[in-house]
A and B are shown apart, each in its own frame.
Chain A
Amino acid sequence: MSDTVPLTTDNPGPVASATPPARGRSRWLSDRRLAVAFIAPALLLLLAMSVFPLLWALYLSFTDYSATRGGPAHFVWFENYTAILTSAQVHLRALTTLIYVVGAVVLQTVLGFTIAYLISRRTHGRGLLTTLFLVPMMLSPVVVGLFWRFMLDAQFGVINSILGSLGLGQVEWLTQQRTALISLIVVDTWQWTPFIMLIALAGLTAVPKYLYEAASIDRASEWFRFRTITLPLVWPLLLIAVLFRAIEAFRLFDLVYILTNGGPGVSTETLSFHVYKVAFLGFNTGTASAYGILMVLVVIVLTQLYLRYLNKLKED
Chain B
Amino acid sequence: MQLATAALLLMATTVAACGDGQDNDAKASAPKAPATIPELTKDPLTLSFIWFEWPPAQALEAFANEEYKKVRPNATIKVNTVPNANWHDAMFTQFAAHKTDFDIAILDSQHIGEAVTNGNILDLTDFVKNNIDVAAYNPYLLAAYGQFPQAETGRRDENASLYGLPLLGDTWTMIYRKDLIGDKPPQTWDEMISAAEKCQADNPGVSGLSFHQANGSDAAAVTYNTVNGIYGGNLWDAKTRKIDGVMNDAAGQEAMDVLVNKMKPLTAKGSGNWFIDEVNASVAQGKACIAFNWIAASGGLLDPKESTLGKTREQILDKLGFATLPTQKTNLVPLGGMGMHVSAYSSAANQAEALNFMKWFEQPDIQKKWAAAGGVPSRTDALESPEFLNAGPFNKVYADSVPRMRDMWNVPEYARLVDIENTNVNAALNGAKKPKEALDDIAKEQQSVLDSGSRKGGGGL
Contacts and interface: CB of A to CB of B under 8 A. Distances in A.
Chains A and B bind each other: yes
B270 A175 contact: yes
B25 A71 contact: yes
A57 to B, nearest CB: 11
B89 A280 contact: yes
Interface stretch (A7-15, A72-80, A194-202, A294-302): A72-80
A69 B119 CA distance: 8
Contacts of B454: 64, 66, 69
Given A72-B22, A265-B430, A267-B432, A282 B415 contact: yes
Contacts of B269: 154-155, 170, 172
B433 A265 contact: yes
Contacts, number: 173
A73 to B, nearest CB: 6
A286 interface: yes
Contact of A264 (B415, B419, B432): B432
B312 to A, nearest CB: 25
Given A56-B17, A80-B457, A265-B423, A154 B270 contact: yes
B25 A70 contact: yes
Interface in A21-80: 47, 51-52, 55-56, 59, 64-74, 76-77, 79-80
B426 A263 contact: yes
A70 B214 contact: no
A257 B455 CA distance: 28
B457 A79 contact: yes
A264 B438 CA distance: 12
Contact of A51 (B10, B89, B432, B461): B10
Nearest to A175: B272
A25 to B, nearest CB: 23
B24 A281 contact: no
A221 interface: no
Interface string A175-193: 1110000000000000000
B118 A68 contact: yes
Interface in A86-113: 87, 89-90
B204 to A, nearest CB: 14
Interface stretch (B91-99, B290-298, B372-380, B397-405): B91-99
Contact of B461 (A59, A90, A154): A90
A83 B24 contact: no
A241 interface: no
Residue of A68, A82, A160, A174 contacting most chain B CB atoms (<10 Å): A68
Q: How large is the interface on A (under 10, 10 to 19, 20 to 34, 35 or more residues)?
A: 35 or more
Contact of A260 (B6, B273, B456): B273
Interface string A276-300: 0111111110111000000000000
A73 B117 contact: no
A82 B461 CA distance: 12
A266 interface: yes
Contacts of B85: 257, 261
Interface residues of B, number: 58
A280 B119 CA distance: 17
Contacts of B77: none
Contacts of B17: 56
A209 to B, nearest CB: 49
Given A175-B270, A177-B431, A262 B423 contact: yes
Contacts of B131: none
Contacts of A59: 14, 18
A148 B306 CA distance: 23
B216 interface: yes
Interface in B70-126: 85, 88-89, 92-93, 95-96, 114, 117-120
Nearest to A67: B96
A236 to B, nearest CB: 33
Contacts of B272: 172, 175-176, 263-264
Contacts of B10: 47, 51-52, 55
B460 interface: yes
Interface in A106-158: 153-156
A89 B423 CA distance: 13
A287 B458 CA distance: 5
A170 B270 contact: yes
A71 B120 CA distance: 14
Contact of A76 (B117, B413, B423, B456): B456
B197 to A, nearest CB: 20
Contacts of A257: 85
B432 A83 contact: no
B215 A261 contact: yes
Contacts of A267: 427, 432
Nearest to B424: A265
Contacts of A155: 268-271, 282, 287
A69 B461 contact: no
A84 interface: yes
B21 to A, nearest CB: 5
B118 A64 contact: no
B44 interface: no
Most buried by B among A55, A176, A263: A263
Contacts of B268: 154-155
7 contacts: A55-B10, A64-B457, A66-B454, A70-B27, A82-B457, A83-B461, A284-B459
Given A70-B27, A76-B456, A287-B458, 16 more contacts: A55-B14, A59-B18, A71-B28, A73-B18, A77-B457, A82-B457, A153-B270, A155-B271, A176-B431, A261-B85, A262-B423, A263-B423, A265-B430, A281-B415, A284-B459, A288-B460
Interface of A: 47, 51-52, 55-56, 59, 64-74, 76-77, 79-80, 82-84, 87, 89-90, 153-156, 160, 170, 172-177, 257, 260-267, 277-284, 286-288
